[in-house]
Every structure is written in C-alpha cells, then in structure tokens.
C-alpha cells in the first residue's frame, strides 16, 4: 500500500511540474507576443515643447517631435521623405503639431547649426521652417565629415530669405541667450535619453525606426481615436 501511495504522490508531483511548465510557457508566449506588438516603440514620456519651433495648430490633439541635427545625413533624408508625408496627412489637417529640437551629436558644427536656427526663429518665426529646410538642403551629399556648417555658411543660406536680417542674425548667434536655448535642447536630449538622430516621438512614444511611416501613422491614428 505504501508503494502505491508513493507512486500516486510521484505522479501527482509530475503532473504539477508539467502544469507549472505549461503555465510558464503560456505566460512567456504572452510576454513575447506583447513585446513583439510593442517592439516598434518605446515609452519615453511627453516632451516639453514650450518655446520650441512648432508647425501646425497649437491645439492639435497629437504632438510629434523630431530630435534632429543639421549635420546629420539621416535627418536630411527624413526631412525629404517622411516629413512631407506627415505634414500633408496630419499637420495640414490640424490633427498634429510638429516640433523640432536640436541635437549636438556632431560637435561644433551641430552647435553652429542650432545657434543659426535659434537666431532665425527668434528674429523671424515665419521664416524658420523655410530656413530649416534650406540648411538641410545645403548639407553636402559627399564627404559629409568635412567641415561645412560654419557661421558664414549659415548666414549665406539665410540670404535666400528677405525677412531675415543677416546682421541681426549674426549678432543673435553670438548671444548667450541663444546659447542658453541650445543648452535647453541639450537638456531635453538627455532627459529623454535620445541616442540617435533623427529620433521621432509621438505623444511620448519613441519610434525605434524613425523611417517607419506606417508605425508613425498607427501611433497618430490611435491617439486621434482616443480623443474621439
């Protein structure tokens, strides 16, 4: 009788072990599936865009932020491919407001580009986005590592826009107040652990692939659905 009881206990223990393994497997599968579903984004928190150049309606329900660098070739490519789609599909319709925050990953040239952009925004906000686009367009397609983003080049780009006074722009680029704005952007980069450019954030969700426009659209559409 004792042998039978031992066999029953052993069988029960085996069953319990099997059920535990099965339960762990199911939980693991759920976790994997969930991670796969969320693999395209990372929760990094809402970005404070106060005082930042912003395109679109101020009361737009969705905020898209680009952390970018005027020296960065990928930022130029994003601006030429994804950005126009985003503007046409969501900014022009009033659903999205888009903000740009300077990143300083390429040293002094990044600082110069940021100072130039901040100086233009301070003097002529209506010219900012055209200057922004033109400064990226001035980025060389070859030998990108060579120095090109100088104060003189930024001022040369600004001559394309009558509303920008180059004398004032030069003076503003040299002001501590303008550098303070660049430093504020640097603090936002650190706060949100930005590690690459461009980094695209939609309502606090950072895209792992900034060029995945379908993922950007999905996040925006989800946010808009929650508003309705």
- 38-51 pLDDT per residue, tens: 448 888 899 999 99
Q: What is the pLDDT of residue 113?
A: 98
Which helix (H) or strand (E) covers residue 222, if one does?
Answer: helix 213-227
Q: What is the pLDDT of residue 100?
A: 98
From CA 106, how far away is CA 211, in angstroms rounded? 21
Enumerate the domain spans of the chain.
2-37, 46-227
Q: Cα torsion for 130, 136, 137, 143, to the nearest 10°?
A: 170
Q: What is the pLDDT of residue 144?
A: 77
Q: What is the pLDDT of residue 13?
A: 42
Residue 132: which residues within 8 A CB-CB, separation 6 or more?
53, 100, 117
Which residue positions in the chain have pLDDT lower than 70? 1-39
Nearest to 85 by CA among 199, 179, 215, 184: 215
Q: What is the pLDDT of residue 145?
A: 81
Nearest to 114 by CA among 197, 47, 55: 197
Three-state SS at 89:
helix
CATH 3.40.30.10 fits 46-227, yes or no: yes
Q: What is the pLDDT of residue 120?
A: 98
């Amino acid at each position: 009788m004792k042998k039978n009881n031992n066999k029953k206990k052993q069988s029960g223990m085996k069953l319990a072990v099997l059920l535990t393994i099965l339960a762990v497997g199911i939980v693991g599968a759920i976790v994997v599936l969930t991670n796969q579903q969320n693999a395209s984004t990372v929760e990094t928190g809402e970005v404070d865009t106060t005082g930042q150049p912003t395109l679109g309606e101020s009361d737009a329900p969705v905020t898209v932020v680009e952390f970018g660098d005027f020296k960065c070739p990928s930022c130029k490519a994003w601006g030429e491919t994804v950005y126009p789609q985003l503007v046409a599909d969501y900014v022009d319709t009033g659903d999205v407001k888009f903000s740009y925050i300077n990143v300083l990953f390429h040293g002094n040239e990044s600082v110069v580009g940021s100072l130039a952009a901040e100086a233009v925004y301070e003097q002529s906000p209506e010219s900012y986005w055209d200057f922004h686009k033109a400064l990226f367009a001035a980025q060389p397609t070859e030998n990108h590592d060579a120095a090109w983003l100088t104060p003189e080049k930024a001022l040369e780009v600004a001559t394309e826009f009558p509303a920008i006074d180059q004398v004032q722009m030069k003076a503003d680029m040299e002001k501590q107040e303008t550098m303070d704005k660049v430093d504020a952007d640097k603090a936002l980069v650190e706060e949100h652990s930005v590690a690459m450019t461009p980094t695209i954030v939609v309502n606090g969700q950072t895209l792992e692939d900034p060029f995945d426009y379908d993922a950007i659209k999905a996040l925006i559409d989800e946010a808009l659905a929650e508003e309705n």
